[in-house]
A and B are shown apart, each in its own frame.
Chain A
Amino acid sequence: MTVRPYIERLGARTLDGVDAGLALWGVFVGTFAGIIRGGRPKGEVVRQLYVIGNKSVVFVAVTLGFIGMVMVYQSCLQLNRVTGDLSQIGPEFLKLLVHDFAPTLTAMMLATRVGAGIAAEVGSMKVTEQIDALRMSGVRPIDYLIVPRFLATVIATVCLTVLGATVAYLMGGLTAAMSFHVNPDIFFDLSRVTPTHLFLGLSKAICYGAAIPIISGFCGLRARGSSEGVGWATTAAVIGSSFAVILIDFIISAFGLTVLGGGL
């Protein structure tokens, strides 16, 4: 008899989850509709690009730089243990960077920064009824607020991925040269990167750039209450975006391996 409340709660949670999922899908579709409809303020996309892109440059460069160093260090260390041949490190590392780690790690960083930023902004507006005021003035919040951030984030993610990959590769090479005396000429070898790698990496970056603003905007629009509500929305946005990045990474990577073949 004591099981019933649990079942009820589980059922209610599931229904809520389905409800939220449908609403999220609604935001997704609405964003694309909004891009076509074009109800956004002039120059907003560019301004968002500045806020999202420019201001993340240092953040992405620093974090990806460190990650590059650490990854190369760990790999060299382990390879020394096993084979002692470090000549492959450079090109292999670059391949991994291009088709997986650069887009994914950049996106994880952006999910925290940009995701929290968008959710906080939109959430504050929701909580102070500015979203309602927009609707009263005949504006669709998705068109006005989310679409510019969507476009800006997609562009910024792709650009920052390229930046991140470059910085990580350079710092990795530095580490290999200084700690393991790997010849830079051997390390910096771009010949093994194929169009497939680029395709995978690019599609990941684009999908991440799309997922982050939609999920964060969605969380912001659902904020309720006051400053606590904004905090919750921000938390949910960061978690949701981060998890989406991992899930998309998994799906595209699996696709790459199984469909596009082991020629990677």
Chain B
Amino acid sequence: MIEVAGVHKGFGHQPLLRGVDLQVPAGRRYGIIGPAASGKSVLLKLFCGLLPVDSGEIYIDGTDITRLREDGLMPIRNRIGMLFQNYALFDFMSVIDNVSFPLVRRGVEHDEVVERAVARLKAVGLAGSEHKMPSELSGGMKKRVGIARATIAKPEIVIYDEPTAGLDPVTTSKIYDLLLADQAETGATVVAVSSDVTALMRFTDTVAMLHEGRIRYQGPAATLRDADDAVVRQFVRGDMSGPL
């Protein structure tokens, strides 16, 4: 469904991604892990065409999005829902306006928009906060609004950038349960990036590790701990000693 081939991306003179290859199968939950600042968020933005690649190709359902310009990317983005690392809620709109924004842009009927937005907010546990402004919400609540906004249009691909960073363990579990339930219901392809390896491993089918600009491991989450690669092993187990 999503295929990345030989992608390079750098900023200024700093190379970040040095030849990334990965495949995300349709309808599965795919996780990306790696050390801080390894380029995970950048990779996600490349999927959406929010940043241009230096070289390489990215195929979404067979279409090479690296060749497309802003106009051509619109229909692709219509099929993707994204949760940004810092939530990126529109701070000049209320919670319910934020959540309903994707639907409004797609021209859905007003009444239906209202119904679905209210339902979605209820599903993420924020019923009653419809008219609050983002500045009045806590971090966890903002994340949930972000999730509601990312999923309300029932996109085929959902991308979560650090869905549980900075949240307490209980909230983390609740959020992953929510993401699991969503995906089970819609059968969407999910890509999640997280620094919380343990929780992510429980949530995803397949995991890839990004290290020094390349994918070092791509395979089932279950066998991650015992991977061949020493770097991967050390990272996942959190060992102090090792190649990292």
Q: Which residues of A does B touch, CB under 8 Å?
A: 124-125, 128-130, 132-140
User: Across the interface, which residues of A come within 8 angstroms of B91, CB to CB?
Assistant: 124-125, 128, 130
Are A138 and B82 interface neighbours, CB within 8 A? no
Of B50, B80, B106, the contact of A132 (CB 8 Å cutoff): B50
Are B84 and A137 interface neighbours, CB within 8 A? no
User: Across the interface, which residues of A come within 8 angstroms of B48, CB to CB?
Assistant: 136
Using A135-B50, A138-B74, A138-B77 as known contacts, say yes or no to A128 and B105 having CB atoms under 8 A apart: no
User: Across the interface, which residues of A come within 8 angstroms of B45, CB to CB?
Assistant: 132
Tell whether B59 is near chain A: CB-to-CB under 8 Å: no
User: Across the interface, which residues of B come within 8 angstroms of A128, CB to CB?
Assistant: 86, 88, 91
Of A133, A138, A140, the contact of B88 (CB 8 Å cutoff): A133
Are B77 and A135 interface neighbours, CB within 8 A? yes
Chosen A-B contacts, 13 in total, with CB atoms closer than 8 Å, are: A128-B91, A129-B84, A129-B85, A129-B88, A130-B90, A133-B89, A135-B77, A136-B80, A136-B82, A137-B102, A138-B78, A138-B102, A138-B105
Interface size on B, residues (CB 8 A): 21
Are A136 and B74 interface neighbours, CB within 8 A? no
List 8 tightest A-B contacts by C-beta distance, closest first. A129-B88, A133-B88, A129-B84, A137-B102, A130-B88, A137-B105, A138-B105, A132-B50
User: Across the interface, which residues of A come within 8 angstroms of B102, CB to CB?
Assistant: 137-138
Of A125, A136, A138, A140, the contact of B50 (CB 8 Å cutoff): A136
User: Across the interface, which residues of B come within 8 angstroms of A124, CB to CB?
Assistant: 91
Are A130 and B89 interface neighbours, CB within 8 A? yes
Chain B, residues 77-119, CB within 8 Å of chain A (1/0): the string is: 1101110111011110000000001100110000000000000
Of A125, A132, A138, A139, the contact of B84 (CB 8 Å cutoff): A132
User: Across the interface, which residues of A come within 8 angstroms of B89, CB to CB?
Assistant: 130, 133
Tell whether B70 is near chain A: CB-to-CB under 8 Å: yes
Chain B, residues 200-241, CB within 8 Å of chain A (1/0): the string is: 000000000000000000000000000000000000000000
Report the Cα distance A134→B85, complex, angstroms.
15
- Most chain B beta carbons < 10 A, residue from A124, A130, A137: A137
